[in-house]
Structure 1
Amino acid sequence: MDESKLIFSAPPFPSYLSNGQDTYRPGQRHMSRDSLGVFDLLVVTEGALYIGESDRKWTIRSNEALILRPDQHHFGTEPCQERTHFHWLHFYTNEPWHMEHRRSEEPAVQTQLPGMFLIQLPQHIRLPAPDQTLAGFRDLIEMEKQSGLAARWTQQTHFQQILQSLIQDQMAPDDPVVKLADAATALLRREYQKPFSYEGLGEQLHFHPTYIARCVKRVYRCTLLDYLNGYRISKAKMLLISTSFPIAEVGEKAGFQNRVYFTRRFKEAEGVSPKQYRERFRRRGVKGTD
């Protein structure tokens, strides 16, 4: 297995479109398609599929999965040598996504706002939990026979569970890097109104600040300050909408001690000034004072 991954920012999450299953006899091969426009998740349960994507080629065996990109040429590289059964699932996202072809600890995005995270789906993987993944596919097929909003909603839930089953090895709670990154960001959220200090963070968590920063960057794909400022801005947005505090006071209550710095960081994140944001989303009867 290579280390290529598809990287998605969430929420919003990738969305389910449709699914099905097929069986190829010996001598049949996967169809050739150009830029399908959606992601195509293939899971083989019996035999093997031989598939190419542009200049890359894979052999997908039983209990393995492959995700084909929406913007590439896909084709069968050779015929199946035995009876081959597989599930397919189409999904899409309206959010930016990208590929990583090797392990990297460099940040994939400039900032990672609180509540958001990265979904890193291996392009080719041996299923960590095949029974769970295949049960999800069978449930989706059954739901295709049902009509109504409840069935469509449930399909999206089952799809998210399938995605989780593909990345179970990334969700290990005992990973020391993840535990330290979570502890650091939890502390930042608790103390967002206090002045930030690398040394103070290190003293409270009993690790060197550089190591803490490296762990946060690896897990959340952003710096400590980017995470903290993102959380402060989310608090400022709530105050701008729901209170009549002056702009400088909003910034101070959100943890920014300098109004000029607060306005600059807010505009970088939201594309408008705090005053413009308030005017756009102000609730009826709430008037700010600048």
Structure 2
Amino acid sequence: MIALPIPPFPTFITGGQYFAQKGTRHFHRTFPVFDLLYVRKGMLFLQEENRQYDIGPGQYLILVPDTEHKGYRDCEEETDVIWLHFTVPLHNHLIVKDQAIDWSYVYKKEATFTEPAEYSFLIPQFGQLKRKDIMEQHLQQLIQTDKEQDHSPDDYLQKQLAFSELFIQLQREAFSIPTATEKVCEKAMKYIQDYFQSPFKMKKLSEELMFHPDYITRCMQKTIGMTPVQYVTYYRLNLAKRMLVQSDEKVATIAKEVGIDDVTYFSKLFKKEEGLTPLEYRRLVRRE
């Protein structure tokens, strides 16, 4: 596990997504910052110093600064990877043995009128995400394609806030005790994922979960920062992006596959959310 004193939170640098092709392997290098790698699809084979890791779907690995790492084996299929680079102020971290923990291990000192509360986060260096959909949403927020027309001076600050929330979620993952709010959010996300190809009706979601629509909305906003309607759009476009990269299907076909019959509306929505048209996105990611 990686032990980190909080505050201050680790500092987000940058992040992105790449598709490791079959027959390729990760770089051989020593990096001066932390590198979090999350696998959405496929399998990544990495070695840090003398320890080897097989990172599969829903799993992550945090590579520690100034340690040698490399791919020790070729990818056996196309592998979808999200990566984040971050630093810890003054390199103030320790590597400790894995252990079962709860908040009593992490919460070190109560706040006073003049001093903040103190924590010692204990984050597994390698792990399987239990609340995969919620965590992927946080990761996706950090790697969204920058939209030139929407770019603002506070963009980096917003990403830093999102990264801090991601770290809190990683700590909660280590406890493996979801809150009531997270449970409602997970159920809502599961419903949307099961029925995304059908027209979305908030009333149907409310009836399925047996909660008031406003309560479901508050739970989702608190957990993933999105309303149900926003998540429907996010989920559909995320699937569309994968299909654009991994297939040669026409845009109209992909739009229908993700539950949007009007291809013109789909293209406008895609451009609004991603800053690129569907075909521009395909060419950019494929580097055509």
State the TM-score, normalizing by the size of structure 2. Answer: 0.53
After superposition, residues 184-203 of structure 1 pair within 5 angstroms as none
1:163 aligns with 2:167: yes
Contact 1:143 1:155 in 2 (8 A): no
Q: 1:122 aligns with which of 121, 124, 128?
A: 124
113 and 93 in structure 1: CA distance in 2 versus 1, 3 angstrom threshold:
farther
- The residue that corresponds to 1:83 in the other structure is 78
Q: How many residues align?
A: 167
| TM-superposed deviation, 1:112 | 5.2
Secondary structure of 1:167's counterpart equals helix
- Residues 139 and 102 of structure 1: CA distance in aligned 2, closer, same or farther (over 3 Å): closer
Q: 1:72 matched to which residue of 2?
A: 67
C-alpha separation in 2, matches of 1:65 and 1:82: 18
> Equivalent residue for 2:182?
none
Q: Distance in 2 between matches of 1:166 and 1:22?
A: 22
Give the corresponding residue for 1:6.
2
Q: What is the one-letter code of the residue matched to 1:10?
A: I
Aligned: 1:151 with 2:185: no
Partner of 2:89, secondary structure, is: coil
Find out whether 1:92 has 2:87 as its counterpart. yes
Identity, % of aligned pairs? Answer: 28
Cα deviations by residue, 1:10-67 (Å, 9 ceiling, x for unpaired): 1011011000011111110011111x11100000000000000001110000000100
1:142 equivalent to 2:144? Answer yes
Structure 2 unaligned segments of length 5 or more: list them.
Answer: 112-116, 180-288
CA contact (8 A) 1:128 1:165 kept: no
Work out the CA distance in 1 between the residues paired with 2:176 and 2:75: 34
Per-residue CA distance 1:105-140 (angstroms, 9 max, x = gap): 9xx99x857401011111001012211221122222
* Residue 171 of structure 1: how far off its partner (Å): 7.4
The Cα shift of 1:165 comes to 2.3
Give the distance between the partners of 2:178 and 2:41, measured in 1 at CA: 32
Map of 1:28 onto structure 2: 24
User: Are the structure 2 counterparts of residues 172 and 48 from structure 1 closer, same or farther at C-alpha, using a change threshold of 3 Å?
Assistant: same
- SS of residue in 2 equivalent to 1:148: coil
Which residue among 59, 76, 82 is the counterpart of 2:54?
A: 59
Q: Per-residue CA shift, 1:59-92, capped at 9, x if unaligned?
A: 0000001000012001001000111111000010
The answer to whether structure 1 residue 16 and structure 2 residue 12 are counterparts is: yes
Alpha-carbon RMSD across the aligned residues, in angstroms, is: 2.5
Amino acid at match of 1:118: S
**1:152 Cα deviation after fit:** 1.2
Given that 1:21 and 1:87 are in contact with CA atoms closer than 8 Å, whether structure 2 keeps it comes out as yes
Deviation at 1:94, TM superposition (A): 1.2
Quickly say closer, same or farther: Cα 1:171–1:62, change in 2 above 3 A. closer
2: CA distance, partners of 1:48 / 1:100: 26
Q: For residues 143 and 24 of structure 1, what CA distance do their matches in structure 2 show?
A: 19
Q: Give deviations 1:123-180, integer Å, cap 9, x for gaps.
A: 0010122112211222222264453332111101111122222222427499xxxxxx
Cα distance change of structure 1 residues 144 and 121 upon mapping to structure 2, 3 Å threshold: farther
Is the 8 Å Cα contact of residues 7 and 120 (structure 1) preserved in structure 2?
Answer: yes
Runs of 5+ in structure 1 lacking a partner? Answer: 175-290
TM-score normalized with structure 1 length: 0.53
CA contact (8 A) 2:130 2:176 kept: no
Aligned residue in 2 for 1:37? 32
